[in-house]
Each structure stands twice: as structure tokens, then as C-alpha cells.
Amino acid sequence: MQKINFLKPNRDNIKNYSIIGSFLVLVSLIDVMSNAFLKINLTSFLPSSLTILFPLIIGLIGLNMMRIDYSGNKTLDLLNKNINTNNFNALLTLLILFSIIKALPQSLSWMIFDATISGDSKDACTGTGACWTYIKVWFRRFMYGMYPNEFHWRINTAFILVIALGFVGYFMKENLKKYLALYYVIIYPVIAYLVIYYLISGGSFGLQWVETGAWGGLSLTFIVSFFCLIFCFPLGMIFALGRRSNLPAIKYISICYIEFWRGVPLITVLFMSSVMFPMFLPEDFFMDKLVRVIIAITLFEAAYCAEVIRGGLQSLPRGQYDAAKSLGMGYWKMHIFVILPQALKLVIPGIANTFLALVKDTPLIFVVGLAELAGMLALAKTNPKWLGFAMEGYIFASIVFWIICYAMSKYSYNLEAKYKTER
Amino acid sequence: MNNIIKRFIPQILAILFVVLIFGFLTLNAQTNMDNRGIDFGFGFLSQESSFDVQFSLIEYSGSDSYARAFLVGLLNTLLVSFISIILCTILGVIIGVARLSSNYLIKNTAAWYVEFFRNIPLLLQIFFWYYAALRALPMPEKANAWFGVTYMTVKGYYIPAMVWENLNVFLYCGFAAIIAIILLRNYANKLRDIQGKQIPVLLYSIGLLIVLPILSFLFGGVSLEFEIPELKKLSKISYIYEGGISLPPELIALVLALSLYTSTFVAECVRAGIEGVSKGQKEAAASVGLTHNQVLKLVIMPQALRIIIPPTTNQYLNLTKNSSLAAAIAYPDLVLVFAGTALMQTGKAIEIVSITMLTYLTISLTIAAIMNWYNKKIEIKEK
């Protein structure tokens, strides 16, 4: 006797089944859509408890009818393989589709269709949607903090210069390439510091002095993370080598250093830099708050950097050390010419990840009173003229940070893939 | 001789360098404190703190000592970390498994979830939940009941409190159940080794965990009542819920942000762990005749867990350290209560910041030590 397979298609009747199935799925999707977009309830004739479940049940039956191991129809097979392998998967597929459809109109109308962007005061925002006017008016503050408007070109020029200097390494002549590391580790940080000091701080060359207290916004995030990166890298290298050293005193000093900084949260380190650090400085020695914060974050991140670099050092085969030693190289010669060039290449993705973490940590400097993006948002939020737009502000900041961090993580992923194939 | 110099000179120099730095800093601190008339010491810990904390797990008032304020902060930190760790593990495992799903939609939704929450700074997420999302909740008098008895309002989440009678009997029964389960497991292992018989241990364990506490209700005189929060009018426009437990919005915002953020990292650990088990293992296990569940339980999970647990513990540690961001939204954790308010009142910057850092350091190093021990234990012992 043939098994009754109601709702179970085979290759002969798949055409009918797939048509009925896709029709049912379509009905369920249309039902949800009309509910979400047009606020029309197509199934109001059903009892209310069934109304919610109706599209789900119809959709499930539809998907079940379309499911077959091999139909010969390319589209159908692709569909079945990817979203419809079994009942549980079909259920999840439908749930995800429904929630996307339900959430879409609300968020779209809030963010785009009902939103306001014209005007330059709070009064322009009368709609029910988001008030992007707020972002538009405060944009310069979010980017540059309280830095005087007429001097914003100084920040832009400084950034362009610093980035351009960073690319110098690519265009160096062949015979200068051996100084590349020297350039990046010692010369570049100094030049970058001078550029930022003289252009952004000013005070000479006819540029007006701008206090670091006025710096802020996204540019401050860049400044802090840039300096922390270029300083924490050499420091981390020293401690990574120290931890691998066979001299016990140096080894244990490095271990203590690394484990100490890795064991405490950054926020306490920042607290330390703002309330405890001044106590440890000579009496009449004043250090700017921003400099203190940069030092604190550098010391903190150096420990993480050290661990990443140590990973690279450890992954090199022993043969490299032995070969270098058998050529009569001493410790420094061996490391500078044989070990570090290979190890550092291996840890570039890891360093990129550390840098990513560093960028995500910079909003924390807000707790010691430096107003970078998160700090500016807190300021703008409490401005009596612009009360009640916290949501827009945080969404804007989240998007900005998300783009930066996502681009960086993709870049580090590419680097990882690139260096993986070369080995 | 040459060798000895080579070995000792750098070490002595390094030690000298460290000693000099510390000496220089201490000397400066000494002169600075002398000049400002501050004296170093931990005597302030027993003094009256005279500030209030809005949310605490233990009895606390302004007349208690600074040491107790420290304890309040520490407990609050541990509470928020504990809840977030549980939530982020559940979420992380679900997302991690979902990323390996064969379903295109599920896989990509999970991937975008990870990319989305991982790439926004935690502080911004906390701010978003606290200042934007939770502020949009209704006032207490307009709140609808969730599940009938809990109320999510702009002033916090109100849930029923449990009022126990003879709680200790109940706890003893719970302990007894756990001990019985351990014994049962040992017995089952022995039986399997000697006779090759399998006992459904999991089923029996769940049974024990349910039956023993029920027995305590029936015969041990244990009873449980729920104290349901009720709306109370304070003045014309101000309402509040009384009774039950109220979770402040700071706690909710913090838990949400921490668990969503950390769950992405946990998900990546879980995915890496499951992917790390080679396909051959699964096929070999299946060809020996194990069922699908047995393959998962006896072959895949033990190997995957070995890869998953160390980095996940690291994430838990990060979460605990990140919970210090609570200070930014005024949740009274260790940093806010101790390194914030107490420091402001006493001015003992060095002592208080060091105690705070040492506390976090102790937590981290303890967990790291346990992890190292565990790693050694589960290491594949090659012959």
C-alpha cells in the first residue's frame, strides 16, 4: 500500500506543490506586510488569538509543501537548501522575515520619512520623527569640540599632514628602506607630535594658542588614539622582549608590569591619571590633563600590545633563533635583523585589533572631563535649548563609531587573510 | 667572567631603574602630602562615611563606615557582572551556534548582530540604553503589567519579591540533591566502566533536582509567597510602586549593554570552538555507531569546550572590568561609590585608587590562576 503523503511532494507533483506552497508563503507575507505598512488587518474575521499565529501557520504549511530533496528546479533547490532545510529552520526563517517586516516601517518612518533636517533651531522639529536638525546644528561641535570655529582648518591641516607623513614610508627610496623601522618608531612620532602641537595648540608662528580644554569631539578621539598607538607599540615591544628574556629580573619586572595593567579596568587607570598622578609629580611641575590621559592609556595599552607581540615571538619556530645564533649574532642583532621583522609581520592583525579596542576605549576619557564625542553629546543633551534629543545624538555617535570600527575590523581581517597565505 | 657581566649588568640596571622610578614617585608624593597636610594611612576606612547609596544589596546607611561602603560597591559590581555573565553566555551561545547554521537568513542575522554590537563602543551603548531607550518607558502610573505582575517603568523594573518561610530547609534539600547527583554520576561512570551499562543520568538528575525541593515544600514546612508590587500615590502627580523588588534603570541599562556587547565576543569564541573540532571526529564517532546526541555529548562538546572555555573566561573578566563603566551613569558600583564619592569626601587619592585597583587586580588574577589550573587539567595528554 502506498504511504499517504499529504503535504509531502515528490518529483512528479512538485510543480503543483511548489505553486501552492509559494502562494501560501506569499499570503502570509502579504498579511504581515499589510499589517505593518498599511495597518490593515486582513484576518480580522478570525479570533484574536489566531490572528497573530495565522501568517506563521500558513507560511509553515507553505514552506513544508515546497520542501523536497531534489526537484530539478534551480531556484527552488537553492531556496530549500538555504532557508528551508527542516521545519525548525522554516520557522526561524519566517520569524526573522516577519520581524524585519514589522520593524522596518516604524524605524524607516522615524529615521527618514517623518524626520526633520531643515531649520536651525529646535522649533523646526515638529514632526513625530527624528530631529536631525539637532545633529546638523551641533555637527561642528561633535567633530571639533569647543575649538574656536574659525580655527577648524588648523585641525584639518594637521590631520592631513600627519596622515601624509604616515605614507612617506611607502614612497621611500630603496636604499633608504632599511631606516623604515627607525622612521616609524622614532622620527614619525616626534614629527607628528610637533605638527599637532604647533598647529592645533598654536602659540607660535602667529597662530593663536588654544587650550587643550577646548579640544574635543571626534578629532580628540583621533588625537588620543593616534598618540597612544604610536607610543604603546615600542613600549609593548620592549615588554614583550622582556617577558621572553632569560634574565629573571627583567622577566619578572615585565610580567608584573603586563599583568598589573591587564588586571585593572581602564576607568580606574584614568581616575589614577587625574587624581593620583599629580601627587606623584614634583611640586611645581604641571602636566596637562590631556597629556596625562595619553600617558595613562599608553601605559595601559602597552601591556595588551606586549601580549600580542609576545604571541608573534612565540609562534616563530625555534630554528630561526638557532640559525641566527649559529651565525654568531648577539641578542640585539638577532632580534633586530631576524626575529622582529618576522614576528611583527605576524602580529599586524593582532595589533590592528588592539588598536580597534583602543579606539573603542577612547570615549572613556569622558569620565575625567575631556569632552570627546560622548562628552560633547552629554553637553549637548543638557543644553536647555536642545533638551530631549538624546536618542538622535547617540544614534549619530553610534553610526560614526560603527563605521570607523567596522572599517578597521574589516581591514584587519584582510590583513590577516593576506599574511596567512604568505606563510 | 664576561658571561657573568653580560647576565648581571642588564638585570641590575633594570632593577635600579625600577627602584629609582618608584623612589622618585614616593619622594614626590611624600613632599606633596606634607605640603598639603595630608597624611597617608588607611585609618579612614573605619570612619563614618556619611553618604548614602541609592541601591545596595546589604543594609547600608550614612552612619556606616567607609569599609562598608566599599563592600556595598564591590557587591554591586559583582551583582551586575554576575547577571550580565549569565545573560551574555545564553545569548552568546545562541548567536554562536546560529552563525554556523545552514540557514542563510539565520547565519547572516547572527553575523550582523555580532558586527553591529561589537563595533560600537560600550560606553555609547550604555548611554544609549540609559539616556535614550529607557527614558522612553512609561511613568509608573501608566505602566502596563508584563506577565501580569512585573512593571517596567521609567523609574525601574518592579518584580515580585519572594517571601520564604524555612528557607534553610529548602536550601538543604537543594544541596542534598546536588550531592546525590554527584554520587549518581560517579556510580553511573563506575557501572559503565565495569558492566558497560548506561544510565540516563541527566534524566535522573533533573528528577532529583525537582523532586527533593518539592518534598521540602510538602514535608519540611517550607512555604513561598510572592509580594507583588503595588501602585501607591505619593502626591498628586507622583506615583511609585511599593513592595516587591525594584531594579533601578541604571542596573538594567548596564546589564543590557554589557550582555549585548560581550555576547558578541562569546559568540565568536563559541563559533571558533565548534569549528575547531575537525570534521573527521564527528564522522569517526558516527561510524562507531553513536547516535547524533551521543556524538554531540561525548565527542564534539568535550573537544569544543576545551577551545571555548579559556577565551570565554577572558571575556567574562573583560566584562567584570568593563562593569566599572557603571560610574558614567551613576550606578553605585565599586568605582562610583569608592573611587568617586568616598575619594571626594576623604581626599585620600592614593589609598583609595590603590585599593580599587588592587580589588580588580585580585579578581582578575584569581580567575586567571583558576583558568591556568583548569587549562593544565584539560590539556590533551599526549603520550
- Identify whether the C-beta of residue B359 lies closer than 8 Å to the C-beta of residue B334: yes
Question: How far apart, in whole angstroms, are the C-alpha atoms of residue B120 and residue A165?
Answer: 29
pLDDT at A420 (0 to 100)? 65
- Whether residue A172 is contained in a domain is answered as no
For B33-55, give one letter per residue: b (16+ CB within 10 A) or e. Answer: eeeeebeeeeebbeeebeeebeb
A272 plus A390 within the same structural domain: yes
pLDDT at A403 (0 to 100)? 92
Q: B28 to chain A: which residues are within 8 Å by CB?
A: 279-283
Which of these, A270, A217, A269, lies nearest to A400 by C-alpha position? A217
pLDDT at A232 (0 to 100)? 87
- Whether residue A356 is contained in a domain is answered as yes
pLDDT at B256 (0 to 100)? 92
A218 plus A297 within the same structural domain: yes
Q: B31 to chain A: which residues are within 8 Å by CB?
A: 283
Phi and psi, residue A406, nearest 5°: -65, -45
pLDDT at A1 (0 to 100)? 42
A87 → chain B, closest CA residue: B103
Reported as type and span, the H/E element at residue A373 is helix A373-381
Question: How far apart, in whole angstroms, are the C-alpha atoms of residue A164 and residue A170?
Answer: 10
A295 plus A227 within the same structural domain: yes
- Identify whether the C-beta of residue B362 lies closer than 8 Å to the C-beta of residue B334: no
pLDDT at B326 (0 to 100)? 87
Q: A83 to chain B: which residues are within 8 Å by CB?
A: 103-105
- Identify whether the C-beta of residue A170 lies closer than 8 Å to the C-beta of residue A246: no
Residue among B10, B120, B324 whose CB faces A401 most closely: B120
Q: Please list, in sequence order, all residues whose beta carbon lies within 8 angstroms of the beta carbon of residue A7, skipping any fewer than 6 positions away.
A: A61, A64, A65
CA angle, residues B218, B220, B221, in degrees to nearest 5 = 80
For A10-33, give one letter per residue: b (16+ CB within 10 A) or e. Answer: eeeebeebbebbbebbebbbebbb
Distances (CA, A) of A402 to A10, A332, A356, A362, B326: 48, 41, 11, 14, 22
**CB pair distance less than 8 Å for A263 and B18:** no
Strands ordered across the beta sheet of B145-146: B145-146, B150-153, B156-159, B245-247
Alpha helices in A167-216 (DSSP H): 180-182, 188-196
**CB pair distance less than 8 Å for B28 and A275:** no
Question: How far apart, in whole angstroms, are the C-alpha atoms of residue A88 and residue A95?
Answer: 11
Phi and psi, residue B350, nearest 5°: -60, -50
Alpha helices in chain B (DSSP H): 2-36, 66-99, 104-118, 122-127, 167-195, 201-219, 249-276, 279-288, 292-294, 301-322, 334, 343-346, 349-378
Which of these, A56, A63, A57, lies nearest to A21 by C-alpha position? A63
A74 plus A139 within the same structural domain: no
- Whether residue A193 is contained in a domain is answered as no
- Whether residue A167 is contained in a domain is answered as no
Question: How far apart, in whole angstroms, are the C-alpha atoms of residue A248 and residue A314?
Answer: 18
Contacts across the A-B interface (CB distance below 8 Å):
161
Which of these, A129, A115, A132, lies nearest to A396 by C-alpha position? A132
pLDDT at A423 (0 to 100)? 45
- Whether residue A9 is contained in a domain is answered as no
Q: pLDDT of A340-359, one tens digit each?
A: 878 877 888 888 888 888 88
A267 plus A416 within the same structural domain: yes
Number of domains in chain A: 2
Q: Which residues form the domain of A72?
A: 14-113
pLDDT at A411 (0 to 100)? 85
A239 plus A109 within the same structural domain: no
Distances (CA, A) of A98 to B104, B114, B378: 15, 21, 44
- Whether residue A200 is contained in a domain is answered as no
A374 → chain B, closest CA residue: B124
A101 plus A249 within the same structural domain: no
Say if B319 is an interface residue toward chain A (CB within 8 Å). no
A51 plus A140 within the same structural domain: no
pLDDT at B264 (0 to 100)? 93
Residue among A265, A281, A390 whose CB faces B28 most closely: A281
Average pLDDT of adjacent 10-residue blocks, chain B of 383 residues = 78 87 85 77 75 76 80 89 91 90 86 91 89 78 71 77 76 86 89 82 83 78 74 73 78 92 92 86 88 82 84 88 87 85 80 88 87 78 56
A56 plus A142 within the same structural domain: no
- Identify whether the C-beta of residue B60 lies closer than 8 Å to the C-beta of residue B49: no
Which of these, B52, B20, B12, B93, lies nearest to B345 by C-alpha position? B52
Question: How far apart, in whole angstroms, are the C-alpha atoms of residue B44 and residue B47?
Answer: 5
Q: pLDDT of A371-391, one tens digit each?
A: 888 888 888 878 777 777 778
pLDDT at A286 (0 to 100)? 77
Residue among B7, B14, B335 whose CB faces A268 most closely: B335
**How far A281 CA sits from the closest chain B CA (Å)?**
6
A109 plus A234 within the same structural domain: no
**How far A173 CA sits from the closest chain B CA (Å)?**
37
- Whether residue A120 is contained in a domain is answered as no
**CB pair distance less than 8 Å for B123 and A374:** yes
pLDDT at A7 (0 to 100)? 58
A27 plus A107 within the same structural domain: yes
Its ipTM equals 0.85
Which of these, A139, A125, A89, lies nearest to A373 by C-alpha position? A139
Distances (CA, A) of B303 to B198, B274, B378, B379, B380: 22, 8, 10, 10, 10
- Whether residue A30 is contained in a domain is answered as yes
Q: B15 to chain A: which residues are within 8 Å by CB?
A: 249, 253
**CB pair distance less than 8 Å for A279 and B324:** no
Residue among B104, B133, B353 whose CB faces A83 most closely: B104
A138 plus A268 within the same structural domain: yes
Q: Which of the residues in chain A have pLDDT under 70?
A: 1-11, 43-44, 127, 169, 177-178, 203, 206, 420-423
**CB hemisphere CA count around A130 (13 angstroms):** 21
**How far B45 CA sits from the closest chain A CA (Å)?**
18
Query: What is this structure's pTM?
Result: 0.86
- Identify whether the C-beta of residue B96 lies closer than 8 Å to the C-beta of residue B270: yes
**CATH code, A215:** 1.10.3720.10
